[in-house]
């Protein structure tokens, strides 16, 4: 039961949410790794875990067709046990935010509500669902800022920078994932952007949005907000390879190119987060 429960919460995604909180805190003036930051990171882990579980509970029927090997459709864990686990991790996460302070608790409550509405309704609305995930992806950075020094959370450069990057990055990645999952979504009756405007047009939209993200990534370089240790990985590890990959998909969206692009976006997200950390000015 323990292994299926771990698989159900998607621990890598949850850990990434916790790391995003820490990065947001690290980039905030007055940063110190204290109990508030740790509690906020644990809260992000719990909220993300609960959202992942809720998603799988709601998608149970669709996953019987598209992903029969997942925890719930394969019978590794019952839906009632999954619901209990979701309630537990969410409660622990929200308690952690309450211990940090009201601003953090409000942000976590908003993220919880947003992800719940996404899982229930918005994921079936093309593009709107992608934007909702983007917003949810940006919130942990701001939570880190709130946990560290709430009055300075919106100061530039600070947690707002990675939050904006994350929103754009997640929207692009969600569109690419929709392209990759088009057959399974269609079989499950889920309408996504590629089904509405086509695969090639969706790839073109993802490319256009990523070019805007490229410009966002270059703003700190122009403003000299970070050290050269930010600029080099941001340009060589994110902008150039991922823009090239998205161009390749837009020109000829083969299954192999789409898969490589989806994987590249995951790796690029990690490189981008690392660039922000090592590039921070003391």
Domain 2-279 fold is Tetracycline Repressor; domain 2 (1.10.357)
pLDDT at 226: 92
pLDDT at 6: 87
Q: Which of 2, 151, 34, 48 has the alpha carbon at shortest distance from 99?
A: 34
Signed CA dihedral, 241, 247, 251, 252: sign only: positive
pLDDT band at 52 (very low <50, low <70, confident <90, very high): very high
Provide the residue ranges of all domains of the chain, joining segments of one domain with +: 2-279
At 152, list the tokens.
């300075």
Question: Do residues 170 and 53 lie in contact, with contact meaning Cβ atoms separated by under 8 Å?
Answer: no
Does this model's pTM top 0.75?
Answer: yes
Phi, psi of 168 (to 5 degrees): -65, -45
* pLDDT, averaged across the chain: 90
Q: CA angle, 22 as apex, 156 and 282 as ends, to 5°?
A: 50
**What radius of gyration do the chain's Cα atoms show?**
19
Summarize pLDDT for 204-250 with one digit per residue, the tens.
999 999 999 999 999 999 999 999 999 999 999 999 999 999 999 99
Per the model's pLDDT, the better-predicted residue between 190 and 256 turns out to be 256
Which of the residue ranges 8-22, 50-64, 68-82, 147-161 has the most confident prediction, judged by mean pLDDT?
8-22
Contacts of 267 (CB under 8 A, 6+ apart): none
Residue 144 clears pLDDT 80, i.e. is over it: yes
């Amino acid at each position: 039961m323990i292994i299926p429960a771990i698989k159900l919460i998607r621990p890598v995604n949850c850990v990434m949410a916790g790391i995003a909180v820490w990065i947001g805190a690290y980039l905030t003036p007055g940063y110190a790794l204290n109990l508030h930051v740790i509690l906020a990171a644990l809260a992000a882990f719990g909220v993300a875990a609960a959202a992942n579980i809720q998603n799988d509970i709601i998608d149970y029927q669709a996953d019987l067709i598209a992903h029969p090997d997942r925890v719930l459709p394969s019978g590794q864990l019952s839906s009632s046990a999954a619901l209990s686990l979701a309630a537990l991790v969410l409660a622990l996460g929200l308690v952690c935010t309450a211990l940090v302070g009201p601003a953090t608790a409000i942000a976590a409550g908003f993220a919880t509500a947003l992800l719940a509405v996404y899982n229930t309704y918005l994921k079936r609305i093309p593009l709107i669902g992608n934007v909702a995930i983007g917003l949810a992806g940006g919130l942990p950075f701001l939570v880190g800022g709130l946990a560290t020094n709430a009055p300075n959370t919106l100061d530039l450069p600070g947690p707002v920078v990675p939050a904006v990057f994350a929103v754009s990055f997640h929207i692009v990645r969600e569109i690419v994932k929709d392209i990759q999952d088009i057959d399974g979504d269609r079989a499950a009756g889920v309408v996504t952007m590629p089904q509405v405007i086509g695969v090639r047009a969706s790839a073109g939209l993802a490319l256009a949005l990523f070019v805007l993200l490229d410009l966002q990534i270059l703003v700190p370089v122009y403003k000299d907000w970070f050290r050269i240790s930010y600029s080099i990985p941001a340009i060589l590890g994110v902008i150039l390879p991922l823009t090239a990959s998205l161009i390749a998909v837009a020109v000829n969206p083969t299954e192999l190119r789409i898969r490589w692009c989806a994987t590249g976006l995951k790796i690029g997200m990690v490189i981008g987060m690392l660039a922000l950390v090592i590039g921070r000015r003391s």
